[in-house]
Amino acid sequence: MALAVCVVDWSARRGKVYQAVFNVGVIVLSTIAGATVYAFLPGGAWAFVAGGALAGASYYAVNIGLLTTAIALETTERWRDTFRARFAWLFPHYLLYGVVGGMVAVAYDVAGVLALFVFAVPLILVRKAQLDYINHTEESVRRLREAAETIERQNESLRRANQLLRDRATEAMESLVAVVDARDTYTAGHSRRVQGIAVAIGRELALDGPELESLSFAALFHDIGKVAVPDDVLLKSGPLDDTEWWIVREHSEEGERIIGHLGFLADATPAIRHHHEHFDGGGYPDGLRGQEIPVGARILHVADAFDSMITNRVYRQALSLDEAIAELRRASGSQFCPSCVAALEKLIASGALAHILDVNSSSAAA
């Protein structure tokens, strides 16, 4: 037994030559076990049935026991799992083979070598049919596996192509945003800063991963619709007349249309469309109020307004940080969502936005 275990361990850890040695060893040991059991059982008219079955069981125990141990050592699977998954179902077959073996032994006693020939031919034919069937099945499995691997490779290529398209589309939109920001030198980098502030507020309000991603895109592209606003209206330093005002306020719906064409950014469009809605219903384009306004849009409105307040604009100088906070508090609950204002105040107080505000100060001063 010790020798058998050594052979098992040796075979499991070495190459194919050792596996062949192991296989021969297993067959020899299994045969010795089956033959020994059969030889020690008492004879009798039908004793070969029980004797053959017990011999088959002994052969099975040694053969499958060693094979399972070898596989468990080689794959680090649990012995019991390996046995159940691969070999447990073979037990009735080995009992049957044992009984057939017993019949052959009885026939040999009566008719000699001729009996072996008579039994051997059908058994060999059955075995050949089994092997053909197994080979055919293995070939089918191999082809199916290759087909599955091909599909998996194609899926991976499609995933990469899709990601590339998304990246390129996002880069194109970012370039457009840069153009929009660059048209008004006072607000250069505005969209990037609003993105940083809005995502920070979103995290503070415990938005989940997909919501934060949509908010991030919405913040970056929130004013992309301004590409449709003429320079003489967008950069006008005096008050806008009614017609000009309608042109400007169209930018949120125009932005929704532009970004809506990019399917993967569809979740960002509600926040873009509604980023000028007021909490009390006084905003545009749909006059939504309170919780009717998507949370991304409420966050975006506060972040957009805050960055505008602390940046020089064509129509006014930048407010100080304290003045901007006071303005947000004054309009909290009317123009701004109170939760979003509170979250922004908390972020400012903790210094979490220091990197954005520092950049802001230098760009405003420039």
Q: What is the distance, to the nearest Å, from the Cα of residue 151 to the centroid of all Cα atoms in its chain?
A: 17
Beta-carbon-side half-sphere exposure of residue 140 (alpha carbons within 13 Å): 6
Q: Is residue 46 classed as helix, strand or coil in its secondary structure?
A: coil
Site for Fe ion in 160-179 (CB under 5 A): none
Of 205 and 222, which CB lies nearer to Fe ion in the complex structure?
Answer: 222
Number of residues binding to Fe ion, judged by CB under 5 A: 1
CB of 286 to Fe ion, least distance (A): 15
CB of 340 to Fe ion, least distance (A): 16
CB contact at 8 A, 257 and 293: no
Binding segment for Fe ion among 83-91, 203-211, 217-225, 332-340 (CB under 5 A)? 217-225
CB of 190 to Fe ion, least distance (A): 10
CB of 323 to Fe ion, least distance (A): 21
> For residue 276, which of 312, 318, 248 has the smallest C-alpha distance?
248
Of 70 and 192, which CB lies nearer to Fe ion in the complex structure?
Answer: 192
Binding segment for Fe ion among 96-104, 175-183, 219-227, 292-300 (CB under 5 A)? 219-227
Rounded to 10 degrees, the C-alpha dihedral 344/348/351/354 comes to 100
223 binds Fe ion per the rule CB under 5 A: yes
Of 7 and 218, which CB lies nearer to Fe ion in the complex structure?
Answer: 218
Of 223 and 277, which CB lies nearer to Fe ion in the complex structure?
Answer: 223
CB of 304 to Fe ion, least distance (A): 6
Q: Is residue 189 classed as helix, strand or coil in its secondary structure?
A: coil
Of 223 and 254, which CB lies nearer to Fe ion in the complex structure?
Answer: 223
CB of 308 to Fe ion, least distance (A): 9
CB contact at 8 A, 49 and 101: no
Token pair for 189: 């980098």
Of 30 and 187, which CB lies nearer to Fe ion in the complex structure?
Answer: 187
CA distance 352 to 346: 9
Binding segment for Fe ion among 11-19, 164-172, 223-231, 352-360 (CB under 5 A)? 223-231
CB contact at 8 A, 325 and 341: no
Of 224 and 347, which CB lies nearer to Fe ion in the complex structure?
Answer: 224
CB contact at 8 A, 148 and 200: no
CB of 298 to Fe ion, least distance (A): 14
Token pair for 179: 């153009």
Q: Report which residue's Cβ sits closest to Fe ion.
A: 223
C-alpha distances in angstroms, 26 versus 79, 109, 157, 316?
17, 28, 46, 92
CB of 214 to Fe ion, least distance (A): 17
Q: What is the DSSP string of 213-262?
A: HHHHHHHHHTTGGGGGS-HHHHT--S---HHHHHHHHTHHHHHHHHHHTS
Q: What angle do CA 58, 63, 67 make, to 5 degrees?
A: 150
Binding segment for Fe ion among 69-77, 99-107, 121-129, 221-229 (CB under 5 A)? 221-229
CB of 252 to Fe ion, least distance (A): 6
**In the 8-state DSSP scheme, what is residue 319?**
P
**In the 8-state DSSP scheme, what is residue 281?**
S
Of 58 and 191, which CB lies nearer to Fe ion in the complex structure?
Answer: 191
Of 144 and 182, which CB lies nearer to Fe ion in the complex structure?
Answer: 182
Site for Fe ion in 305-344 (CB under 5 A): none
Binding segment for Fe ion among 111-119, 141-149, 189-197, 220-228 (CB under 5 A)? 220-228
**What are the residues binding Fe ion (CB under 5 A)?**
223
